[in-house]
Structure 1
Amino acid sequence: MIFSKTIRCNGMLFGPFNAFSQRRWKKPVVSAQTRLETRTKDLKLDKLMAHINKRKTILDIHQLMSQRKRGPFVSVQLMSRWRNIVGLNVGMGAFLHKYPHVFELFEHPFRRNLCCKLTQRMRSLIDEEEKVVKEYEPELVQKVKKLLMMSRNGTLHVHALRLIRRELGLPEDFRDSILSRYAKDFRLVDLEIVELVDRNESLAKAEVEKWREKEYIDKWLSEFETSYAFPINFPTGFKIERGYREKLKNWQRLPYLKPYESKEVLRVRTCGGTERFEKRAVGIIHELLSLTVEKMLEVDRLAHFRKDFAIEVNVRELLLKHPGIFYICTKGSTQTVFLREAYSKGCLAMPNPMYVVRRKMLDLILLGCRNTRSMEDLEEIKEERTVSVFRTDGGGKIDGDWVIPILESYDQNAFRSPRETDDSKQPFDGCESGRIPSVCFKDDSS
C-alpha cells in the first residue's frame, strides 16, 4: 500500500491532491468564433458583399411590390411597413431616395400621396434575367442532376433546393417547371423529396478535376502532386506559420472519396478516416459552390445539405481551416462563404450570362444619385412629347385609358425616337406618368 504524505510549509499544505500543487497545463481551445475573428480579411470580397446586400434588399422590395395586385406602383406609406421585413437600418423613404436609377417616386394624380415604382432600366434588367433563366434551362437541369448525384441516396429535400434557388439560378417555380416537367430525370417521391431517376456518368466530373487536368498538362506536374490537390489562393497579408507549408503539402496529396464516386462513404473512426472524411467534405462544398451563379452561398444554408451529403463535421470550422480555398464574409446579417479561386480583384474570373445580368443590376445600383441630370432631361422630353387620346361616351366624359406616353423606354446615353420603341404603342394607366398633363384639361368644344 502506498501512502501519500502531506507537507506543511509556512501555513500551506502541499500534496498530491492539493489544488495549488496539481495545476496542469491545458492547450487553449481554438473555437470557430476565435478563428473567425482572427482570420485574414479579404477587403475586396468584403466590399463586394456589402454591395450585393444592397442588391438583395432591392430585389426583396421588388418581390413585395410585385405581390400587390393594384398596379406596378405602391405608396411609400405602405412600403414603410416593410422596413423590418427587408432588414433596413434607415427609413424606407430615405432608402428609396438614395437610388433614383432604381426607384421612381411620383405623386399620385388623384390621391395626392407619394408613390413608388421601379424604373424602366431596372425592370428591363429583371426581365432580362428571367429570359436568361429560360434560355439556359437545360444547364439548370444538369445542375440539379449533379446535386442529386452527389447525395448519398440520390435524393434531396426540395426545401433545401428552394433555399439556394437564387444562388443556383433556378426559376421561382422550379418545382413545376423543372422537377415535374422533366419526369425522365427526376421523380418526386414525396411533396418535399426529389429523387434522381438515372445517373449520367458524363456529368460525374467535378470542376476541380478539370483544374487538375489543366495543371497536369500545362505545368508538367506529376500525377502524384495533382491527383487530389485543390487550388490554393491565400488572401493578401496572410501569415504562413512555421510548418504550415509541409502540412498543406501532405494534405494536398491525401487521397479522398471524390464527390461523384458512388462508393460507400468513408467512416470517421477508421484508420486515417478523419482527415480523409474532412477532405471529402471540402470537395463536396467546393463542387456545390462551383455550381452556383456567383460562386458564393450563405453558411447557414449549407447545413440543410449535411444529412443528404453525409457531411458529419462542423461546416463553419471546416471552412475556416482552409483559408486558401474558402473565405467567410461577415458583412450583413448572415455569414457568406466565397470560393476564392473563382474571384480575381473582386470580380468573377469566368463570368456566366446570368452573372453578367446581375452585375449590370449592381452597377445600376452603385450609381446612386449620380448621372441624375439625364433623367431630369428625359422627364422634360416626355412632358413635351406626350399625346392625349380621348375616348368619350357621347356626353363629353373621359372613359378608359386616356393618356399614352410616346417615349417610355430610353437609353442613358442616347434618347431614341418614338418610332424606335414598341412601348409607345401600349396604352397605360394615367398614374404611370406621375402627373396629369395639362393638355388633358382643354375644353371639349374646342
Structure 2
Amino acid sequence: MSQRKRGPFVSVQLMSRWRNIVGLNVGMGEFLHKYPHVFELFVHPLRRNLCCKITQRMRDLIDEEEKIVKEYEPELLQKVKKLLMMSKNGTLHVHALRLIRRELGLPEDFRDSILRTHSKDFRLVDLEIVELVDRNESLAKAEVEKWREKEYVDKWLSEFETSYAFPINFPTGFKIEGGYREKLKSWQRLPYLKPYESKEVLRVCTCGGIERFEKRAVGIIHELLSLTVEKMLEVDRLAHFRKDFAIEINVCELLLKHPGIFYICTKGSTQTVFLREAYSKGCLALPNPIYVVRRKMLDLILLGHRNTRSLEDLEEIKEERNGSVFRTNVGGRRDGDWIVPILDSYDQNAFGSLGDINDSKQPFDGCESGRN
C-alpha cells in the first residue's frame, strides 16, 4: 500500500552505479539535491534507505508530453515519411532514427507504434532497416522552398534570385573577406538537387561539380533540422545519416563552411548544430506543443534550489497561446519576459534576403561557433 501511494522509485544507492553511465562528475546524491523541483528524496518506510522519485510537477509534464506526442501521431508519421523520401533508396537504418527519436518527437516505442502499425506506409526489411512503401509527392516540398515562395511574393524578387537560395544571417563580428559577398551570391543562385528529388536526377545534377553536391547536402541537413522539434541536432548523430542520404562528406566541415545557415554550439565534448533562421529572442520563432512542454521541464530544472517551498504555493507557469510561449515568475535567466536558459536573443528580422550580409545580435550565447 505504501509503495503504491508513493509511486515508482529507486534507491539512491542503486542510482549511484549509473554515475559513469550518465557522465556525472559529482556524486549522485549531490546531483539529486540540486534539483528539488525534479527529484523528490525520501526515506523508505521499511528499508530505511534513501530513495528517489520524480516530483508530481515533473511527472505531470512528462505525462503531458506523452499525450501531445500521441495526439500528433499523424504529423510524426509524415516526418518519418519525409525522411525516407530524402534517402537515396527509400530506406533508413532504424538505429539512426532511434538516435534522434527525441529530437523528432517520436515515441519511445516508435518501431512498434509507428513503423509496424502503419504497414501500408512502412516495411521493415529486417530488424534494422525500414523502407518506404509508396512515395507521397504532396509531402515533397522542403521548408526552405516555402520560404522561397514567400520571398518571391512578398519582396517581388525574380525567380532567378529565389529558386535555389537559403536564408542567410551571420553572427556579430563575422569578418567578410574580399570577394566573399559575390561568392555568396553566386552560391545562392547555384542550381542543385533538392532534398526530395529522385535518385535518378542525382547522377545528372551532381556531375556539375563538388559545389552542387555540397549544396544538395546543405539542403538535406537544412530539411532534417527543420523536421526536428527544436531545430537542432548533435553533429555526431547527424553523421549517422550520411550514407542513407548520400552526403558522404565531412559534415562538420560542411556546417562550418556555411555559418550564415547553421550554428555549431560546443558544450564539453558535444557539438550541436542549430538552424539559425528558426530562432528568435533565444526561443523558437514558431514554437510547437512538444517544444513548449519541454521548455516547462527545463524551467523546473533551472529553478535549482530557488523557491524550494511547497510547489503548491508557486504561481502556475502561464502559457500564452498567441505564439504558444510560456512565462513564469519564478527563477530562470531572463530576456524580457522570456525564460532564456541557454540561448541569447537575436533579431529574426535581421535575416538578409538571398545573401545580403547583415550584422545582427549573436543568437546563441555561451556556445562556441567554431568560426568568428
TM over 0.5, shorter chain: yes
Structure 2, unpaired ranges of 5+: 1-5, 317-372
Structure 2 match to 1:146: 82
- Show the counterpart of 2:112: 176
Distance (whole Å) between structure 2 residues aligned to residue 139 and residue 113 of structure 1: 45
Partners of 2:276 and 2:213 lie apart in 1 by 22
Report how many aligned residue pairs link the two structures: 310
Contact 1:267 1:273 in 2 (8 A): no
Pairing partner for 2:140 from 178, 196, 204:
204
Q: 1:411–1:225: structure 2 CA closer, same or farther, 3 Å change rule?
A: farther
Query: Which of the numbers 266, 272, 275 marks the counterpart of 1:339?
Result: 275
2:314 to 405, 408, 412: 412
Q: Secondary structure at the match of 1:265?
A: helix
- The whole-number CA distance in structure 2 between the counterparts of 1:147 and 1:166 is 15
What is aligned with 1:370? 306
- Kept in 2: contact 1:268–1:274 (CA 8 A): no
The Cα of 1:312 is off from its aligned counterpart by 2.4
Task: Tell me if structure 2 keeps the 8 A contact 1:108–1:115.
Answer: yes
Of 238, 255, 260, the residue aligned with 1:302 is 238
**2:62, 2:121 → 1: CA distance?**
29
Q: Compute the TM-score of the two structures, normalised by the length of structure 2.
A: 0.80
Partner residue, 1:226: 162
| Distance in 1 between residues matched to 2:91 and 2:169, nearest whole Å | 33
- Preserved contact between residue 186 and residue 196 of structure 1 (Cα < 8 Å): yes
What is the CA-CA distance between 1:71 and the residue it aligns to?
5.7
**Residue equivalent to 1:132:** 68
Distance 2:45 2:126 in 1: 51
Among 216, 225, 228, the alignment partner of 1:292 is 228
Deviation at 1:413, TM superposition (A): 2.8
Residues 33-86 of structure 1: per-residue CA shift (max 9 Å, x gap):
xxxxxxxxxxxxxxxxxxxxxxxxxxxxxxxxxxxxx96111111111111111
2:127 alignment partner in structure 1: 191
1:367-398 deviation line (CA, Å, top 9, x unaligned): 111111234xxxxxxxxxxxxxxxxxxxxxxx
Task: Assess if the C-alpha contact under 8 Å between 1:266 and 1:273 holds in 2.
Answer: no
Q: Is 2:16 the partner of 1:80?
A: yes
Q: How far apart are the structure 1 equivalents of 2:64 and 2:304?
A: 21
The question of 1:265 aligning with 2:202 is answered yes
Q: Which residue of 2 aligns with 1:274?
A: 210
**Is 2:18 aligned against 1:116?**
no
Aligned twin of 2:153:
217
Residues 157 and 192 of structure 1 are in contact (CA less than 8 Å); yes or no, is this contact kept in structure 2?
A: yes
- Does the 8 Å contact 1:132/1:354 carry over to 2? yes
**Structure 1, residues 103-142: CA drift from partner, whole Å, max 9, x if none?**
1111222222221111000000001010011000000000
Whether the aligned pair in 1 keeps the contact of 2:11 and 2:50 (CA below 8 Å) is yes
Separation in 1, partners of 2:228, 2:258: 20
1:356 aligns with 2:292: yes
Q: CA deviation at 1:90?
A: 1.2
Contact 1:266/1:277 (8 A) holds in 2: no
Q: Post-superposition shift, 1:289? A: 0.5
Q: In the alignment, what sits opposite 2:359?
A: none
Q: After alignment, is 204-213 or 332-341 more displaced?
A: 332-341
Q: Retained in 1: the 8 A contact 2:94–2:130?
A: yes
Q: Which amino acid aligns with 2:52?
A: C
Preserved CA contact (<8 Å) 2:123 2:131: yes
Report the AA paired with residue 141 of structure 1. Answer: L
The AA in structure 2 aligned to 1:171 is P
The 8 Å contact of residues 206 and 260 in structure 1, kept in 2 or not, is answered as yes
Distance 2:190 2:308 in 1: 57
TM-fit CA distance, 1:221: 1.1
Conserved 8 A contact 2:264-2:274 = yes
The percent identity for this pair of structures is 89
CA distance in 2, matches of 1:239, 1:126: 44
Deviation readout 1:149-173 (Å, 9 max, x if unpaired):
1111111111111111111111111
One-letter amino acid of the counterpart of residue 288, structure 2: N
Q: Aligned equivalents of 2:220 and 2:8: distance in 1? A: 42
Q: Give the letter for the 1:157 counterpart.
A: H
Looking at structure 2, the residues matched to 114 and 322 of structure 1 have their Cα atoms a distance apart, in angstroms, of 51
Q: 1:173-216: per-residue Cα shift (whole Å, max 9, x none)?
A: 11111011111111112221111111111100000000001111
Letter in 1 for 2:219: G
- Aligned-pair distance for 1:239? 1.7
Q: Any conservation in 1 of the 2:193–2:206 contact (CA below 8 Å)? A: no
- Residue 319 of structure 1: aligned partner: 255
1:241-252 matches, within 5 Å, as 241-252=177-188
Q: Which runs of 4+ in 1 moved over 2 A?
A: 266-270, 410-414
Equivalences for residues 363-402 of structure 1 within 5 A: 363-375=299-311
In the alignment, the residues of structure 1 paired with residue 9 and residue 206 of structure 2 have an alpha-carbon distance, to the nearest angstrom, of 60
CA distance in 2, matches of 1:114, 1:159: 37
Distance 1:197 1:236 in 2: 46
Unaligned runs of 5+ in 1: 1-69, 376-409, 415-446
Conserved in 1, the CA contact under 8 Å of 2:192 and 2:206?
Answer: no
